[in-house]
Amino acid sequence: MWGWRSSRTPVVLTATAVFAVVCLLPLLYMLSAALAGPRTGVSRVGVALLDRRQSGLLYNTICLGMGTTVLASAIGAPLGFALARLALPFTAILRIVLAAPALLPPYVIAMAMTYLVGSLASTLTGAIVALTVGLYPITMLVTEVAVRRVEPRLEEAALLVTTPGRVLARITWPIVAPSVIAAALIIFVLAISEFSVPGLLRVRVYTTEVFTAFAALYDFGRAASLAGPLLIVSIAVAASAGRRLGRQLIATRRGLHGDPLDTFQSWRPLALASIGCLVVVVLAAPLAVLAREALRAESIGDVLRDSRDAAIHSLLIGLTGASAVTLVAVCLGHARARATPNVGAMLDALWVAQFAVPSTVIGIGLIGVWNRPGAGGALYGTPAMLLLGYLARFLPIGALSVAAIVRSIPESHEEAAAVVGGGWLRTMVRIVIPQMRAGLLAVWVVAFVLGFGEVGTSILVAPPGESTLPIRVYTLTANAPPGYVPALALFQSAIILAPVALLAVCLGRRRTS
């Protein structure tokens, strides 16, 4: 529809170039470092895999991934069904509350667990539980979208001849199962890619070994060869899941039609009681225990004063990062939404795979790309590296989200603008973007909270003397005075949850108005 001469061309090309340089280049650098060269060659990857010490790493990593996947799916799938098919009160707010643990940095949850259950948390099982709390919302949201996409008449037709339980098992579940399985694959990849939880709980997995090899032993070759298998598995599994899920990853209200069905309403009391218990366990209890521990600090005011610079840096970089992610994501997401089905599916797979790349691998990749003499290394050692890290980690999920939002706007709206003479930029500014304001706000908020809690990449690329709040929380865990770290973690959680709470209030008001 838009010719090559339209303003779309330079804008989309620029956004693509940003994605290629910031997201793909570090990844390609790490892949080539892992698979080529005398010190880091394929043989070294093979040796690393066969080594007895490394086989323990492999075992732990797989157990962490499988355990988290099973537990998160068992919690998330029923919740997703309940949100879609039971007429629960304040569904929009309930959804945000249930999804909130995904926005809290996982190491904050792990830290709360250590205060709750002591040394029991510092085990593989503890890491599985902490990651489950942070990842079950993915299954929940994907399942809800999938169930809402099921035409209610299919279930109603079955309800005429059988019980609600059988309808769920024989009609609803088979239709939504592929989505739930795809979500499970994504959770598996995110769990094996996670660095902060196993790092904090002292569970040895690939990501922590990559970090140790690079940051403690200064052995880039070993770090790269350890990252190799992890990277390949992550990309392969995530790309497959992304291809399966694609447009279902994030859906907007306009694309969904399934309403609650009367017949399932008898399950409501049980669902509400379960949800209440879950909210206490995954959100209220961790925050309460952190608050209790924070009160042990000599002066909470001093704690916050000590970390004022780090908090300001985090806020500034979080705000800038979220804005940059949203801006570039609008260009990429729109291009994806209007791409041909094959190109679109390929981009979905690429972005999901990119999002699943372990944060420590991205960090080392960024250092490898930007730490060089001359103009090419001008950004290295500056706060811009943190911004590049945020873009590398969260641009893919931002682009996926925007693409889903754009798809909910009929293409004919843009075509109508084009045939009356509107150029691409004017059509975007006056027709497309105004229709996705709420969605873009949500993308910005998610990018901000994810960026504000980011630690795996930041800890590697932050310039000397430029700490962020998550880096401070993470590095002080082992040797800070009592109450110091919980107070910081609580402060961090409050900053993250504030915009989420605001979003919930806005949704609540919109619902009641």
Partner 1 sequence: MTQSFLQLERVTKRYGGHGGIADVSLAVSAGERVVVVGPSGSGKTTLLRLIAGLERPEAGEIWLDGRKVAEAGRNLVPANERRVGFVFQDLALWPHLRADENVKFAADSLGITKAERTTRITSTLELCRLDQQLARRYPHELSGGEQQRVALARALVGAPPLLLFDEPFTGLDADLRATLRNELVALQHRLRFTTIYVTHDPHDAETLGDRTITIRHARIEPAESLKR
Chain residues that interact with partner 1, rule: CB under 8 A: 1-3, 5-6, 410, 412-413, 415-423, 426, 430-431, 434-435
Which is closer to partner 1, CB of 1 or CB of 177? 1
The least distance separating partner 1 from the CB of residue 410, rounded to whole angstroms, comes to 6
The least distance separating partner 1 from the CB of residue 11, rounded to whole angstroms, comes to 16
What's the token pair of residue 163?
A: 């019980």
The least distance separating partner 1 from the CB of residue 266, rounded to whole angstroms, comes to 36
Measured CA to CA in angstroms, residue 326 lies from 135, 170, 217, 401 at distances of 23, 41, 37, 10
262 C-beta neighbours (distance < 10 Å), count? 10
Question: Contact 432/334 with Cβ under 8 angstroms?
Answer: yes
Which is closer to partner 1, CB of 375 or CB of 420? 420
Burial pattern 352-363, b for ≥16 Cβ within 10 A else e, equals bbbbbbbbbbbb
Which is closer to partner 1, CB of 342 or CB of 512? 342
The least distance separating partner 1 from the CB of residue 409, rounded to whole angstroms, comes to 9
Which is closer to partner 1, CB of 21 or CB of 438? 438
Look-up of token digits 């196993």: 198
Look-up of token digits 């569970």: 203
Which is closer to partner 1, CB of 160 or CB of 420? 420
Question: Contact 470/390 with Cβ under 8 angstroms?
Answer: no
Which is closer to partner 1, CB of 341 or CB of 464? 341
DSSP 8-state code for residue 21: I
Q: Where are the alpha helices (DSSP H) in 51-151?
A: 52-85, 91-103, 106-117, 124-149
Which is closer to partner 1, CB of 251 or CB of 432? 432
The least distance separating partner 1 from the CB of residue 417, rounded to whole angstroms, comes to 7
Question: Contact 109/101 with Cβ under 8 angstroms?
Answer: yes
The least distance separating partner 1 from the CB of residue 6, rounded to whole angstroms, comes to 6
State the DSSP H helix or E strand holding residue 163, giving kind and residue range, or none if neither.
none
The least distance separating partner 1 from the CB of residue 335, rounded to whole angstroms, comes to 17
Residue (of 458, 235, 438, 460) closest to 352 by Cα position: 235
Measured CA to CA in angstroms, residue 428 lies from 3, 223, 327, 415, 420 at distances of 15, 44, 12, 12, 14
In the three-class reduction of DSSP (H, G, I as helix; E, B as strand; rest coil), residue 295 is classed as coil
Which is closer to partner 1, CB of 4 or CB of 218? 4
The least distance separating partner 1 from the CB of residue 509, rounded to whole angstroms, comes to 19
